[in-house]
Amino acid sequence: MSAAATITAHEAPPQSGPRALFRRLKHGDELAHLITLTFAAAILLLTSMLVYELWVNSHLSRTKFGWIFFWTRVWDPNFDNFGAAPFIYGTLVTSAVALLIAVPLGLASAIFLSELAPRKISDTISFLIDLLAAVPSVIYGLLGIFIVVPLMRNTLGPFLIHSFGNIPYLGALFRPPNYGVGFLTAGIVLAIMVVPYIISVSREVLLTVPREQREAALALGATRWESTWKVVLPWARAGIMGSIFLALARALGETMAVTMVIGNSARISPSLFSPGDTIASTIANQFTEATGDLYLSALIELGLVLFLITFILNGMARILIVVTERGGGRPA
Amino acid sequence: MRKTLFLVSLLLSLAAVAWTQSGGTVLLNAAGATFPYPIYSKWFDVYHQKHSNIQINYQSIGSGGGIRQLLAGTVDFGASDGPMSDEQLGQAKFKILHFPTVLGAVVPTYNIAGVSGELNFTQKALAGIFLGTIKKWNDPEIASANSGAKLPAEDIVVIHRSDGSGTSYIWTDFLAKISGDWKSKVGNAATSVNWPVGLGGKGNEGVSGLVKQTPNSIGYIELIYAVQNNIAYGKVQNAAGKFVKADLAGVTAAAAASAKTLPEDFRVSITNAPGPNVYPISSFTWLLIPAQIQDSSKRDAIKGFLAWMLTDGQNYNEGLTYARLPKEVIEKETKAISLIQ
């Protein structure tokens, strides 16, 4: 959007003086361009200011630790030794678990709502789903504490350990001790939180697929499912990807719900039952009482790292969309 | 219609401005520790009722934030659960005085299958449990002090605070004093530490919630929080070797025991204080006040408040389950008020 606005602004005839400016602004088009350009530029400015602030305020920590910050496994405010590895690990693992659960669940629901359910039911359910997306995260945290944590400790956890704990390699993910809180619990709570985003956006995207596409597939003798799977879904691929990455962004940055169920322990352990910590939850937990300059600076650098992770993952998403577009689906 | 509305609102705002300026109102901004927030807000409220021209606005943003805002000069005074370090005082552009206000204590709380009575914790046991060297509940170090209790051969689950907190500061201050291993491996008292074992819960409610939910767990919470929510807690061995259950008298006794050796700047840790009735995991909480205050009306307001807080103010403590300051400390502090100029 900003690119379009910039181009037209450049194409405007070069005039000078306040009167000329006023004359140009009299036309609605010019005014609209100017306003949208300003707002688009404001977003850009806001983002760059955010990065700038994080960059400047993390100076102490960046100069002291350098690149080692990324793979140091110790976070010790008492001895001024800081590393981001446990938190990067926790952020990626919980988000991955969340997406593994939420994507199939959300996509299947969206397909049902857009393709199979009667319109009335579909509209009612999606209204409720949109409500879910607006629930504050602390509520999901409470849900986690009162329902998911006991379930994990007493039923689901022991079951998973019993069933998968002895399988080579895979078993390492399901090793006791199981406290009820940990990566898996946090991932499940995150999945519950992000699934409404996937359903809501994917359903809208699926509904925009032209009717003719489905009818053509059915006319060629495809079953209902074949038309959905081979025609409708590929057509909507970019939009569905968008919904998944929106969900991922929410999962990466979630603070309150995660901190309530993850166990808040700066450790890296392969088992999904072990307690861990994420970047966002660490910042929220420790920022208010961080007194040392280096300590504060390291926390701000954690924020920078989270920004970087989001940036890289979003970049990968763009590439993924471009590549899959090329492989067929919606005609350009 | 719109014009009248505009005029009315203009008049109203003018009146509001005039009203606030009329009595020579002194507005003081303060920020800091969350632990004493209930008593502070009570004090500031009562003091405002007695002196309607003095209004103190306190934001409980945490001790660290309070110290930072005081150093930055964005508040008139700060509050902290731990005394400021020499390094922090060195950063300040002005001299900062410490005034103890109330006392707090931290207690061990636990949830062990089949154990309902109060447990006795030796100092060695607490240090060992939180260091991860004592791993089972039936460890001899725990069992020897609790002959009546049926301690299970189960793993101990340690629960600590996940957020930076004055409660952790007092707890680790005690552990660092009683255990050389703790001091060398984990370090001195701190609001956030690199815990050798365990899970973290956010706030007192997070820790007590996790303890309640997790079988065979132990955590630490503020005495106030335990009393107000009827949470059972254990006795802790003090410097005299006696097992003491925390109560307000025991906490005040800890402060009284340290009063003789109280330094001039009041920056003192009173954990593991000597004396038979002393509860060993106690601490002051402080107001941090600049020694030089340019604005004379603000200076008088702060000095007046401090004098009231040390006398009548202390009577509100027990109602909110804070321990009152001992006489000896109040006397020393009253003298120190004159240092504010």
Q: Report ipTM (2 d.p.).
A: 0.81
Taking Cα atoms as reference points, which of A141, A90, A106 lies closest to residue B202?
A: A141
- Whole-number Å distance between alpha carbons of B256 and B279: 11
- Judging contacts by C-beta atoms under 8 Å, the chain B residues touching residue A260 are 202, 206
Q: How many Cα atoms sit within 13 Å of B275 on the Cβ side?
A: 20
- Judging contacts by C-beta atoms under 8 Å, the chain B residues touching residue A259 are 162, 202
Indicate yes or no: CB of A288 within 8 angstroms of CB of B62. yes
Identity (one letter) of the amino acid at A132?
Answer: L
Q: Which two tokens stand for residue B198?
A: 């365990």
CA distances from B12 to B23, B170, B188 (A): 18, 50, 55
What SS3 string covers chain B?
CHHHHHHHHHHHHHHHHHHHHHCCCEEEEEEECCCCHHHHHHHHHHHHHHCCCEEEEEECCCHHHHHHHHHHCCCCEEEECCCCCHHHHHHCCCCEEEEEEEEEEEEEEEECCCCCCCCEECHHHHHHHHHCCCCECCCHHHHCCCCCCCCCCCECEEEEECCCCHHHHHHHHHHHHHCHHHHHHCCCCCCCCCCCCCEEECHHHHHHHHHHHCCCEEEEEEHHHHHHCCCCCCEEECCCCCEECCCHHHHHHHHHHHHCCCCCCCCCCCCCCCCCCCCCCEEEEEEEEECCCCCHHHHHHHHHHHHHHHCHHHHHCHHHCCECCCHHHHHHHHHHHHHCC
- Judging contacts by C-beta atoms under 8 Å, the chain B residues touching residue A180 are 213-214
Contact B187, B147 (CB under 8 A): no
Contact A180, A87 (CB under 8 A): no
Of A180, A264, A288, the CB nearest to B61: A288
- Judging contacts by C-beta atoms under 8 Å, the chain B residues touching residue A263 are 199-200
Contact B305, B334 (CB under 8 A): no
- Whole-number Å distance between alpha carbons of A263 and A261: 6
Q: Which two tokens stand for residue B220?
A: 């630490």
In tens digits, chain B (341 residues) has pLDDT values of 556 655 556 555 555 544 444 457 899 999 998 889 999 999 999 999 999 999 999 998 888 888 989 999 999 999 998 898 888 898 888 999 999 999 999 999 999 988 888 999 999 999 999 999 999 999 999 999 998 888 999 999 999 999 888 899 999 999 999 999 999 999 988 888 999 999 999 989 999 999 999 999 999 999 989 988 899 899 999 999 999 999 999 999 999 988 888 898 999 999 999 989 999 999 999 999 999 999 999 999 999 999 999 999 999 998 888 999 999 899 999 999 999 98
Q: Is the pLDDT of residue A278 over 90?
A: yes
- Judging contacts by C-beta atoms under 8 Å, the chain B residues touching residue A78 are 186-188, 190, 192-194
- Whole-number Å distance between alpha carbons of A172 and B313: 58
Q: How far is A295 from chain B (nearest CA, A)?
A: 10
- Judging contacts by C-beta atoms under 8 Å, the chain A residues touching residue B193 are 76-78
Q: Is the pLDDT of residue A275 over 60?
A: yes
- Whole-number Å distance between alpha carbons of B309 and B287: 11
Indicate yes or no: CB of B194 within 8 angstroms of CB of A180. no
- Whole-number Å distance between alpha carbons of A263 and B26: 45
Taking Cα atoms as reference points, which of B241, B86, B280, B89 lies closest to residue B269?
A: B280
Of A285, A291, A295, the CB nearest to B163: A285
Under an 8 Å CB criterion, which residues of B touch A?
61-65, 67-68, 85, 88, 155, 157, 162-166, 186-188, 190-195, 198-202, 206, 209-210, 213-214
- R_g over Cα of chain B: 23
- Whole-number Å distance between alpha carbons of A82 and A299: 9
B13 CB-contact burial (10 Å; exposed 0-12 / middle 13-18 / buried 19+): exposed
Q: Closest residue of B to A182, CA-based?
A: B199
Respond yes or no on whether the N-terminal peptide bond of residue B276 is cis (omega within 30° of 0). Answer: no
pTM score of the predicted model: 0.85
Q: How far is A55 from chain B (nearest CA, A)?
A: 20
Indicate yes or no: CB of A149 within 8 angstroms of CB of B213. yes
Q: How far is B61 from chain A (nearest CA, A)?
A: 7
Q: How many CB atoms lie within 10 A of CB A148?
A: 22
Mutate to test the interface with B, among A282, A289, A294 (most CBs of B within 10 A): A289
Indicate yes or no: CB of B88 within 8 angstroms of CB of A266. no
Indicate yes or no: CB of A289 within 8 angstroms of CB of B68. no
Indicate yes or no: CB of B199 within 8 angstroms of CB of A177. no
Indicate yes or no: CB of A150 within 8 angstroms of CB of B165. no
Contact A245, A311 (CB under 8 A): no
